Amino acid sequence: MPLISTVIFDMYDTLVRNNTDLLGASFKRIIVEQGLSATAEQLWEHWHPIAENFRNRRVEPDRPFQSYYNAWEEGFRKAFSALDQTGDAYAATDRFFADLSKREPFPETADALRQVQSSHRTAVLSNADDGFLLPNLKLLDLEFERVLSSEKARVYKPLPGLFEEMLRALNVKPEAAVYVGDRQFEDVLGASRVGMHTVWINRGDQSLDPQLPEPTHQIASLTELPALLAGEFAT
């Protein structure tokens, strides 16, 4: 029986792609579908700072929970106003959600997950709304024991509550679980706070932030994960 019984995965940029080119394509579709005179670049330039402000402030103590849908709709509404566009913020958010729900897995995702699932329990824990996370998971054609979104738990990584709720749902101790994610702040810091092991999937060869906890292990691809679990984590 391995020391680690359970592997919990982040979703976006861990199991499926979600790069800036894909985000930009969504903004181009919004412009075309709504017949707007502004460019996709202009819309992004006004929407993105609002989305980043939401991202930075959503973990502030005592801040009321706000879903991605509500935050992004607010961003589109303000961006349309600043650009003097008569855009439909709800339709724009729906388009963004629809595109996010169809993100393609990395080439190695399916094979790596099947190998992991042959010896470990698996789950998905993601900063996401169910409206795009759950349909996207269906496209992976893989089963997970548990799926928990920030929307359902009403708390965002790296706050410990999201991780603690998943551990309770799985009835697993933190020292018997590893969290795999692509962000040192949300994923490594968050999981470390509750005593979980961490694997940072660092596809872009980023430098570690010395102000944040170091991951238990780093990998450059999910293809490295099965051997890591069978080796370093099995002793």
Per residue in 59-104, pLDDT (tens digit) is: 998 899 999 999 999 999 999 999 999 999 999 999 999 999 999 9
pLDDT of 1 strictly over 60: no
pLDDT at residue 235, rounded to an integer: 58
pLDDT at residue 234, rounded to an integer: 62
Q: How do residues 16-41 score in pLDDT, each as one tens digit? A: 999 999 999 999 999 999 999 999 99
Q: What is the rounded CA–CA span in Å between residue 122 and residue 143? A: 8
Q: What is the rounded average pLDDT of the residues 201-212?
A: 94
- Torsion angles phi and psi, residue 225, rounded to 5: -70, -45
Q: How many CB atoms lie within 10 A of CB 231?
A: 9
Q: How do residues 100-150 score in pLDDT, each as one tens digit? A: 999 999 999 999 999 999 999 999 999 999 999 999 999 998 899 999 999
Distance between first and last Cα of the chain: 10
Q: What is the rounded average pLDDT of the residues 178-204?
A: 97
pLDDT of 182 strictly over 80: yes
pLDDT of 212 strictly over 50: yes
pLDDT of 2 strictly over 60: no
Q: How many CB atoms lie within 10 A of CB 197?
A: 21
Give the residues across from 43 on adjacent strands.
Answer: none
pLDDT of 173 strictly over 70: yes
pLDDT at residue 183, rounded to an integer: 96
Neighbour-count burial of 17, counting CB atoms closer than 10 A to its CB (0-12 exposed, 13-18 middle, 19+ buried): middle
Q: What is the rounded average pLDDT of the residues 52-56?
A: 95
**Could you give all domains of the chain from N- to C-terminal order, each with its CATH number?**
6-17+103-234 (3.40.50.1000), 20-100 (1.10.150)
Query: Where is 7: in which H helix or E strand?
Result: strand 6-9
